[in-house]
Amino acid sequence: MSEFARTFEKRVQNLLNNAEDGIHLVVAALLLLLSILLTIGVVGDVVQAIQGTYREEVVVLSALDNSLILFIVAELLHTVRLTIRNRTLDAEPFLVVGMIAGVRKVLVVTAEADKSFQWNVQGVELLTLIALILVMALAIYIWHRSGGTAPTGQGRSG
pLDDT at position 154 = 47
**What string of pLDDT tens digits covers the 158 residues of the chain?**
788 888 989 999 999 989 988 998 999 999 999 999 988 988 887 787 778 777 777 777 777 888 888 888 988 888 888 888 888 877 888 888 889 889 888 887 777 776 666 677 778 888 899 999 999 999 989 988 887 655 444 444 44
Which residues touch 57 (CB under 8 Å, ≥6 apart)?
Answer: 111
Q: How many CB atoms lie within 10 A of CB 26?
A: 11
Q: How many CB atoms lie within 10 A of CB 41?
A: 14
Residues 137/144, Cβ–Cβ less than 8 Å: no
